[in-house]
Amino acid sequence: MQGRLLVAVRDFDSLVGGAEKSLSSLILGVNSLNQNWKINVYQSNDRKPNEELFKNTSIKFEKCDIKIEDIYSGASWKLRNRNTGRSMKFLRRIHLKRKNKLFSNWLKKHFSKEIKLAEKNNEKLLGITQLDWSAGASSAFIENKIPYMVFVRDEVCFQYPELFEECLQNAESVIVAGEGLASQIKEKFMIKSISIVHLPVNFEDIYPQEKLKEKLEEANQYRLKNNLTNPRIAIVGMVPEKGYQFYNKELIPKMKLTWPEATLHVFGGGTLARKLAKHSNTFDEGFCKLEDIYPFCDIHMFRLDIVGTWGRVINEAGYFSKPSISIDIGAQSEAVGLGGKVMPYSASSDEWITELKNIYDDLEKYGNLAFKHRLIVDHKNSINEFLSVIEGVKND
C-alpha cells in the first residue's frame, strides 16, 4: 500500500534553525529513497522559503497566512525576565494557544480532502509534526483519525505541558535524537512509544572534507599573524535556555578572575549575545558560517538549562576537530561522547573553568576524538532510522 506523509509544522522550507534543518533533511531523504511515500507539507508562508533546496523534489506545499509572531509573543519578549532572558510565560502561553488553534482549524479543512483522496487511491495517511505548532497539528490529526508522529526538538512541551500533553500522549511515536532525552520524556509524559532518530547532519554540505586540513591550517596562520594565540571559546547560538543566566551571572565573571587570558566568542547574533558582550572578555561575533567559527576557536561550549535536546552544534564543532564541553542532561552526553567533557548540572563555574583548562591542555587528543565521534549523526544512517520508524507505524 502506498502512503502519504502529511508534514504539518510552523516552518519547513525557511530552515530557521537546527530542528527545521533536521526535519527537512529527513523528509528530503524519504522523498529521494522511497517512492512508496508521497509528501505534502503544511506550513506558514510568513518566512522567506529556501526554494532551491526543494526545487527538484515531488514534495507539495500548502501554505497558510497565519503570522508566526503576534502582539502576545512581542509583549512576552518585551516583558521577559531580565535575569534569565526568558519570555513572560503567561503571555507566551496565550500566543501558543492562539497560534495552535488557528493552525488546527486551517489544517482540518485540508485534511478532510486528504482523507477522501486517500480512500479513493487506497493510500495510508501518516502525520508528522514538531515544535511550537505541534499541538495544533496533533489536534487536527486526532480529529481526522490520522495517525501521527511528533519530534521533540526543544523544551516547549516541558515548559507548557498543559498545551502539549495531548499531542505527545496520542502520537503513535514520539521521536527524539538520543536516549537521554527519551528518558526525560518518559518521566514526564505517558506516551505510546518512543523512537530514536539521530540528527541527519551531512558534513559534506557544511564544508568539503578534502579542504578541512587546509582550512584549519589557514585559521592557525591567521591567528598567529594577528597574535590571537590565547584560549578562545565559542558559544554558537545564544537563547535563554542555552545557559544565558549561568554564563552572564557566574561563568563569565569568574573566568575574568581565574582565567583572564581566555576569551569567549558568541556567534549567531541577537539581544542576549549583545548583553554577554558587555563583559570585557566576551565578544558578539554576529552571524558567521561554520567554517568561519570553529577553525578560529579552540573549544566549543554548549549548556542547556532544562531539557537535553541533542546539540547539533557539538558534532558540527567535532567536524572541525574542536572539542565541546556540555551538560549532563538529556542527550548531551551522547552528543559529546569522548570528544570533550560533560559537566554535572550542579557543577559550579569554577568546575567548568577547570575542565575547560583541562581540555585546552590536551586539545589535539580531544579534537581527534571529537572528529571521530561526529559520525554518530551521519545523515544516511539517520534517514534509514527515520524510514524504519515510518514503516513500523504504517504497518501497525
Q: Where in the chain are all domains bearing CATH 3.40.50.2000? A: 2-201+378-395, 203-376
Q: How is residue 88 annotated by DSSP?
A: P
Distances (CA, A) of 264 to 176, 253, 261, 276, 361: 30, 11, 10, 9, 17
Residue 311 has a pLDDT of 87
Look up residue 56 and give its three cell numbers. 527538484
Distance between CA atoms of residues 139 and 146, nearest Å: 10
- Could you tell me if 47 and 53 are in contact, meaning their C-beta atoms sit under 8 angstroms apart? no
Beta-carbon contacts of 221 under 8 Å, excluding residues fewer than 6 positions away, are: none
- Could you tell me which of 147, 154, 158, 228 has the C-alpha nearest to residue 193? 147
Tell me how far apart the alpha carbons of residues 8 and 25 are, in angstroms, rounded to a whole number: 15
DSSP 378: B
Q: Tell me which CATH homologous superfamily contains domain 2-201+378-395.
A: Glycogen Phosphorylase B; (3.40.50.2000)
Q: What is the pLDDT of residue 85?
A: 86
- Cα–Cα distance, 131 to 68 (Å, whole number): 12
Q: What letter represents residue 319's amino acid?
A: Y
> Structure pTM?
0.90
User: Do residues 342 and 314 lie in contact, with contact meaning Cβ atoms separated by under 8 Å?
Assistant: no
Across the 396 residues of the chain, what is the mean pLDDT of every consecutive 10-residue run?
91 88 93 87 93 88 96 94 89 97 96 90 94 97 97 93 97 95 93 95 92 95 94 94 92 97 96 95 96 97 87 95 95 95 95 98 97 94 94 83
d(CA 201, CA 205): 8
pLDDT at res. 17: 83
Q: What DSSP designation does 130 have?
A: E
Assign domain 203-376 to a CATH class.
alpha beta
Q: Beta partners for 40?
A: 6, 60
Rounded Cα distance, 22 and 17, in Å? 9
